[in-house]
Structure 1
Amino acid sequence: MTETRFAEIIKKDFPLLATYTPVLARVHGAGHPELAEVRDLFAEMNKKVEQDGVDQVDLTEEFNKLREITSDYQVPSDGCETYEATYQMLAKADQAYHE
């Protein structure tokens, strides 16, 4: 993990993701029930980062689950701009975490 890059992503993108993931689950959840899982996994990740700090946090399991349930962050054809932005931020965080 490149701590500096991942720390920057946490600072910049995690607040947006904390806003976007519940909205997506509410707006698109009927057609995409996996979004409830995305919301819950992100909330768990955000909590871990706050508790453990960037340099100590282990998010391997959560990122593995996110890749699985999102089909490697593939936005469905009926996904909106927020849907796309959310998956892009999650993919970027995943990449930075694993560098």
Structure 2
Amino acid sequence: MTFPFTQDSLVRDIVNEFPKSSDIFKRNRIDFCCGGNTPLANAVASNGVNMEVLLTELKDLYEKNEGNGPTDMEVWMDSDSQTIINHVIERYHCPLEEELTLLSPYVTKVAKVHGDGHPELLKVYELFYELKKELLEHTKKEEEISFPLILKLEAGEIENREEALSQIAQLEKEHDHAGEILRELREITSDFVPPVDACGTYRLVYKRLEMLEGETFMHVHLENNILFPRYI
């Protein structure tokens, strides 16, 4: 099969068709969830990435995975909205609330113990708790207000279509804000690489923050680039 992507392909379309590309995009700080509706060329230019090298990486990985059957994202693109929403709540919302709760004391401890010698940890503390508040409020609103409105829109049971569309637009803005916080966290932690003198808890925090970033990106990608476009 011929490699189907070019510099004019939208980032979100590449990830929808070839989800493993998300690993390459994350490594190159290319936003495929909130900023996914942009041509690859634009995303590359704004991040100072070499287009030729990136396309070669994508092509090599694509050829290695060719013929492996339908991907998760392809399955979700063919799923109804109720199924996607149920999956988002069970796979992302519930584990997210648990992880944010469990990670909080570690972030606090590391900032308190090592903040004097590593002042960037004070910024990590600040950004993490901003992200925690944002995500918990966001997921609660989705479950209680936005998702029910979307399902009513799907079923044709809503008179004010603009209300549902306004909800979707607001969710996308909140996704953008969360994405910006994650970008700041990645920058301030030098791509989540701890210093050589970091203790075990310090390293644990960075590792789990990076995992949180990955989960959030896939969560937002599923909503922004598969669920929401059905109604916009």
User: Which residue in the other structure is 2:29 paired with?
Assistant: none
Equivalent of 2:124, from 21, 27, 38? 38
Please state whether the residue corresponding to 1:84 is helix, strand or coil: helix
User: Which residue in the other structure is 2:206 paired with?
Assistant: 87
Equivalent of 2:180, from 30, 36, 61? 61
Task: Name the TM-score, length of structure 1 as normaliser.
Answer: 0.86
Gap runs ≥5 in structure 2: 1-32, 34-86, 143-170, 219-232
Task: Name the TM-score, length of structure 2 as normaliser.
Answer: 0.39
Alignment of 1:4-19 (within 5 A): 4-19=90-105
Gap runs ≥5 in structure 1: none
Give the Cα separation in 1 of the matches to 2:92 and 2:114: 28
The CA deviation at 1:85 is 1.0
Higher relative CO (Cα under 8 Å, sequence separation at least 6) belongs to: 1
The CA deviation at 1:8 is 4.8
The CA deviation at 1:5 is 4.2
Please state whether the residue corresponding to 1:53 is helix, strand or coil: helix
1:97 correspondence with 2:216? yes
Give the Cα separation in 1 of the matches to 2:92 and 2:203: 20
Give the Cα separation in 1 of the matches to 2:194 and 2:122: 15
Q: Aligned pairs, how many?
A: 99
Could you list the structure 1 runs, at least 4 aligned residues long, displaced by more than 4 angstroms after superposition: 54-57
1:35-91 CA-to-partner distances (Å, cap 9, x unmatched) read 000001010011112211175452100000000000010011111111111111100
Root-mean-square deviation (Å): 2.0
